[in-house]
Structure formats: C-alpha cells, structure tokens
Amino acid sequence: MNILIITAVSGFLPGFETRNVEILKGMGYEVHYASNFHNPVYKFDMGELERLGVRCHHVPISKSPLSPDNFRALREIREIIKSFDIKCVHCHNPMGGVTGRLAGIGTKEKPYCIYTAHGFHFYRGGQVKSWLFFYPAERFLARFTDRLICINREDEEIARGFHLRKGGRVIRIPGTGVDTCRFSPDSQARAETRKELGLGEGDFLFLSAGELNENKNHETAIKALACTDRKEAVYIICGEGKKRRDLERLTESLGLSGRVKLPGYERKMEKYYRAADCFLFPSVREGLGMAALEAMACGLPLIAADNRGSREFAGKGVILCDPADTGQWASAMREVIQKESLRGIMGREARKRAEDFSREKSEKIMRLVYEEMDRAVRGRQIKEGTG
C-alpha cells in the first residue's frame, strides 16, 4: 500500500517526520515524498531519505499561495497519485495542505487524507488579510479531509467548527514531540561547546533557532540585546533565510558585530542548547514551537513572545513578552542575566514542562491515527472488491 507525504519545503520530512515514516514502514506502507527539493529551508542529506526507504518526487510547490508554480505542482501531485496508486495522503504546511487535498479531489482514487496544520496562518489578533485568505481556504478544504491534526488548543477550537469528510475528526497532538533523552542537560558537553564557540567564563549566551524571516522576529531580540547594555551578553541565532543580510546590517548598525553571530542552519542543536544560558523565542506567529521545547528539555530558561504557540507550554520556566515591545524583552533579558537563582528555578521548571510534549506522547497519538487510516482504506478496498 502506498502513502504520499507532501510538504512545501523538502527538509521538513527529514527534520520533523522521520518517526512517522518509521511507523508507516512498520505497518507495511511504501512511503512516497513530494516536495520542492529546490527549496530546502532545513539542511538535510538526501541519503537520509534513501536510508529510510522513502521514494522522493520533486514538485514545484511554493510557500506563496499566489505563485503560478502551485498549479503545476497540483497537476504533478495528481499524476503521482494516479501513477503510483496512492491510497493515502498526509500533507503538511499551508500550501502542502492546499495542493495535497485539491489533488486528491481530481482523481478517481480519492485517497484518504490527513492534514497536519502546524499552526494556521490565521489566529486571534492576527492580520486581517490572513483571515480573508487562509481561513476560507482551510474551511473549504476541510470537507476533503479525513483527519485534521492541530498542535495547539486555539487551532483545535477553530478546526472543530469546520465540516470534515463523513467520519472525519479533528485531533490535537503535542507537536512532533521532543526527544527528551537526546535533548537533556549535560554539564560536560556545555563546557566543551562553550570552549569551541570561544565563550569566556563570564560570557552569557542567549540562543535562538529558526528560519531567518520576518515572522521569527529576530530583529526585536537583537535590538533588546543592545538595550540591555550588558557587554558580557552574546546572542547566537542558528538558521538560514532571506533576512540574513538585514540582520547583519542591523547588528552592525547597533555596534553588536562581535556579539551577535549567525552560524547558519544546524542539525545538531543539542550542543548549542547545552552551551546556552537562556533561549529566546521572539516569533510573532507560532503553532507551537519545537525549538523552544527542545531548549526547555535541555533545562534552559525561556523568554518567548506571547503567542498561541508559546502559551501552550508557558509556566514557571517561561517569561512571556509582547513580540513588538523591545523594552519588555530587554528588561526580561537583564533579569535572567542578573539573577542566577531565577535561572536555576526556570530551567528546572522548563525541563519538567517539556516532558508533557515528549516524542513518546506524540507518537502514541500518530500511531492511532495511522491505524484508523489503515482500517478505513482496507475497508474501502474490501467494499470495492479490490482488497
């Protein structure tokens, strides 16, 4: 039996969905992966997909809903479904969800469809234009969806107002799940990595991880660093994206060239988490925030933008700030630099809270989702006399 996973950016599966692939392979499925391999936002090795036994198909999906490339991607995905007798589709990201579900409509196969919304682009307090475009699109496409998976309560509440396919359900999972063994405190690794990074005994390391784009809002954190007036504070942002040059210019203009570093995308983030003193998560919009949860699992205190994603895991280990208020961020950053005892309390609480978002909990739910899918598809085959 064949299943097709669809994402708009090709690094998404190796970065976040390998355990789901392993579950599906264990159930006897051949996994096909359609994505834009010319747009690898997350660095990865194609050999990793080969080792997983994933069959890859390049399709020109664009993250921009207005791009004409999406029409070509739609046709190509439809052809993949027909050519490989795809029985199930699991799509991710907004445009992966749009093209994947529309492609299924236009085929006689009518594959079983799972859509994981990693944070709707419309949200309470969000831009009107996002509500005008993405909300009607998601509401319409829900009728072609068998399982709609959300990663936060706000999205789940909205999705429950949609009309899914007959027998369809909305499900919430704790994101893709944090590997709390891999992401854990390690004092020896901390000392070694800080030495590698050229950090001195008295240096205080703030850390962020994520694509360098407008939504991730790294500008606010950089400006706040300048406002703290603490020369021992260093800020490392792991990630790549279109805003790199803008961030470099901002850093230079604020006189922070030696204290803000952009090392690029990093697959082995655990060493950076362990070297850091505090994690900054300034995103304007987040569905949940796996980087923040990984940092929390490593025992890092967290300063995060107040959004629907960070509110899911906020507690005593997290300070929430207005994403646009540089003063709030600077004040919170000064506080964690100055108060070692506060950092200790926050770090312990953060580690404890991250356990609620463990990989095991997410996998348990996804296994049930795939088992329901498998029963539905096999039942349909028996009914049609093709099983």
Q: Mind listing the pLDDT tens digit for each residue in 40-49?
A: 666 777 888 8
Higher-scoring residue by pLDDT: 97, 382? 97
- Which of 120-124, 267-271, 327-331 is most confident? 327-331
Strand partners, 148: 115, 170
Beta pairing, strands 86-92 & 112-117: parallel
Name the pLDDT band for 212 (thresholds 50, 70, 90): very high
Contact 27, 370 (CB under 8 A): yes
- pLDDT category, 54, cuts 50, 70, 90? very high
Q: What is the pLDDT of residues 330-372, one digit of tens each?
A: 999 999 999 999 999 999 999 999 999 999 999 999 999 999 9
Homologous superfamily (CATH) of 2-177+359-384 is Glycogen Phosphorylase B; (3.40.50.2000)
The answer, yes or no, to whether residue 23 has pLDDT greater than 80, is yes
Q: Looking at residue 109, what is its pLDDT? A: 72
**Which amino acid is residue 58, in one-letter code?**
H
Alpha helices in the chain (DSSP H): 12-16, 18-26, 46-52, 69-83, 94-105, 128-141, 153-159, 187-196, 218-228, 244-253, 270-275, 290-297, 308-313, 326-338, 340-354, 359-384
User: Which tokens hold the place of 134?
Assistant: 């993405």
> pLDDT tens digits for 111-160?
999 999 999 989 888 889 889 989 999 999 999 999 999 999 999 999 99
Domain boundaries, the chain: 2-177+359-384, 187-356
Whether 20 shows a pLDDT value over 90: the answer reads yes
Binned at pLDDT 50, 70 and 90, residue 386 comes out as low
User: What is the residue whose two structure tokens read 């304007």?
Assistant: 284
Q: How confident is the model at residue 387 (pLDDT cuts 50, 70, 90)?
A: low
User: Alpha carbon of 55 to those of 3, 4, 16, 277, 379: distances in Å?
Assistant: 10, 9, 17, 41, 26
Region 295-306: mean pLDDT is 98
Cα dist from 256 to 37, 132, 223, 233, 314, whole Å: 35, 40, 10, 10, 30
* More confidently predicted of 387 and 338: 338
What is the pTM (predicted TM-score) of this model?
Answer: 0.89
Percent of the chain with pLDDT over 90: 81
Mean pLDDT of all residues belonging to the chain: 93
pLDDT band per the 50, 70, 90 thresholds, residue 383: confident
Q: Is the model's pLDDT at 327 over the cut of 90?
A: yes
**287 has a pLDDT exceeding 80:** yes
Instruction: Please give the CATH number for the structural domain made up of 187-356.
Output: 3.40.50.2000
Quickly state the pLDDT bin for 224 (edges 50, 70, 90). very high
Query: Do 2-177+359-384 and 187-356 have matching folds?
Result: yes
Average pLDDT rounded to a whole number, residues 91-108: 89
